[in-house]
Amino acid sequence: MLRSTSAGFLLIGLSLQAPVQAAEVTGRITDSHTGEGIPQAVVRALPEEEGQPVAQDLTDHRGRYLLDLLRGRYRIQVEVPDSNYLPRRYGGSGDPEDGDILHIPTFDSFTVLDLSLQMGGSLAGRVTGEGEALLAEVTVQAESGDHRVSTTTRADGSYRLPRLPPGEFLVSAGTRDRQYVPAYYPGASIPEEARPVAVERRLNLSGIDFALQRAGAIRGRVRALKGMEPLEGIRVVAEKEGASSISRVATSDSLGRFRLAGLSPGAYLLSAGPSAREDQPGRQQPGWLRQFYPQRFHRESAVALEVESGLTLSEIDFTLMQECWISGKVLTLGDEEPLEEVQVIPQPVVLRGFSPARTQTDRSGAFLLQGLPPGDYTLGMLLPAKHRRLIQIYYRDKLSLDRADRIELEAGKALRDIDFNLAAGASLRGRVRIEEPEYQWDSSRDVIELARLDFDPRGSEDRQLRVEEDGSFRVDGTPGGRYALTPRLSDPNLIALRSPLPRVVTVVEGDLVEQLDFDFRLGGSISGSVESAGDAPGLNQLQIVLINFVENTSSVFDLPSPQYTLAGLSPGRYFLALRSKPDAAHPSRGYGISQVFDSRLVDVVKGAGTSNVDLRVRRSAAERSPL
């Protein structure tokens, strides 16, 4: 008896020292719309701690479940297989990474946890190839915002995408081996041309079918021009013409081989160059120069490749060369202050039509030109408005492209210390004035021509200065020298009040020369055409004689073209005559010293042009009187 009693107490003591660390979690899974229980829903408790088992239960016909859990932290997940109910987690909205953590403290806890599920919709269809062949193992994907699901087609080409939330989805189909061209519903090749499919609650939408087209491919090799060694890791891009968003990318392997698959039929531009990471600014050494097929340095001269359905273009090879760099500084002459935001412009001597990327100086005046093919270059610049008083030069202090020194670049080399030192030029200011207060100048056509008169070994070039609407003009950064300023104005009715018209000025670098003014008054003009018929004299044998009845003066004009304009005439009546040049008479034809062929009386009005004053040399010109 005593032993038995002791044994009974022992069993009781053991049970008190080792309680079962378990708890119950129970509840119902219901339809969020109807409130009815959902049978056959799978409820899982996913432990946060490693080593603990996953607990799960199936709901009964009323949607009830029961989970026995050990003490710990869990995430509760619910889904209904073979249905359109959207899976969700406790405390979450359906995102697999979303949801709250359920804490089970002790064995004697009891938790009631009810969850409701939303009913979604589904999409179904079939994927076929050429000749309506059924395609298996095709990936079909539906995407809407952050929600993306995919599946693969069965042996009969069919597919089904269940449990989709209500909304609009872009649906696409494609094969992993890229033997077929990826497509978006309905039959689009890019997302921008696709039509979204509207998914509704409790709706099983079918007929979302795809007919895939066999894709083309391009393959080739990438090698170095020097030594013809294969290049690994080169990025080859195929861009379809007429659809900038359609492109395919491949990377060359250790043997320099690449293959671009999944291409829809059409014309493609191919380029090969370093990867995006290797092409980033800040790299320390020159890399490989990007090229377009075949061996072109810019897109405009590339040759498009025509890709056909189901065919592969082979031996599309690239031979890359290493780029060149040019670096230096742009400083002021004398005090060597750095000049910021100066554009440095490389221009190839041989590669006509190729425009390398320009760069601009930083706060220290430094610049770096990258991506240059080997060859000879000239180096110029473009100054911002804040530096406009400085003289804009080419490399080695030259003022024109023709006189600029050439820079020779070798493949893979970085040419450093190509520096510019800019001096302050002269500034010229003036105004074109007219007596009419309401007159406005045409700033798009009216200019002042600035022409250098003395010889400059640095190659000064003539310039045209724009006349603003108020008649003012200005030029900065003018090298020292002797210049002629001549107005070239679009209005033929203007009369210069100062003769000779060009203003000649001598400037010293750094000077400010002002009041370079030109005065005009408003007159009129005569314009028309000259026609010489048959075997009559040509234009090079003709002249127009203009006689002013008011001033009793005459002027003679040669004819450079069939259209003529006699500009800057004082208002009044004029006699206009078309005659042969005195030194071009033809005695054998009976012409006199100078033969008159046609004439007109013309009234010139202030501020107006008298047009359509046409003159002709007729076949009976020999019968006209000599002048």
Element (H, E) at 9: helix 2-17
For the whole prediction, is pTM greater than 0.85?
Answer: no
Within its chain, how far is the Cα of 547 from the centroid? 60
Specify whether domain 216-320 bears CATH 2.60.40.1120: yes
Which parts of the chain sit beneath pLDDT 70? 1-22, 92-98, 106-109, 243-245, 276-284, 351-354, 499-500, 534-535, 583-592, 619-627
**Are residues 21 and 70 in contact, defined by beta-carbon separation less than 8 angstroms?**
yes
Structure tokens at 593: 């010293």
Indicate the class that CATH gives domain 524-623: mainly beta
Measured torsion, CA atoms of residues 605, 608, 611, 617, in degrees rounded to the nearest 10: 40
Measuring CA to CA, which residue among 266, 267, 233 is closest to residue 250?
233
Indicate the class that CATH gives domain 23-117: mainly beta
Specify whether domain 121-211 bears CATH 3.90.1150.10: no
| Strand blocks (E) in 129-243 | 139-144, 147-152, 158-164, 167-174, 183-184, 197-199, 204-205, 210-211, 216-224, 235-240
Do the two domains 121-211 and 216-320 of this chain adopt the same fold? yes
With tokens 């359609």, the residue in question is 246
| Distance spanning both ends of the chain, measured CA to CA | 166
Measuring CA to CA, which residue among 195, 139, 199, 132 is closest to residue 167?
199
Angstrom CA distances, 361 to 21, 335, 345, 356, stand at 73, 18, 11, 16
| 315: helix, strand or coil | coil
pLDDT score recorded for residue 283: 63
Structure tokens at 490: 């679009």
Q: Across the strands, what pairs with 455?
A: none
Angstrom CA distances, 352 to 302, 356, 376, 379, stand at 14, 11, 11, 15
The domain 324-422 is placed in CATH, from the list 3.40.50.1820, 1.10.10.410, 2.60.40.10, 1.10.3720.10, at 2.60.40.10
CATH homologous superfamily of 426-522 equals Immunoglobulins (2.60.40.10)
**Are residues 568 and 519 in contact, defined by beta-carbon separation less than 8 angstroms?**
no
C-alpha to C-alpha distance for 288 and 410, rounded to whole angstroms: 13
Strands 210-211 and 121-128, sheet pairing? parallel
Structure tokens at 561: 């073209």
Element (H, E) at 452: strand 447-452
Sketch the domain layout of the chain as residue ranges: 23-117, 121-211, 216-320, 324-422, 426-522, 524-623
With tokens 């690994």, the residue in question is 232
272 φ/ψ angles, rounded to the nearest 5 degrees: -135, 135
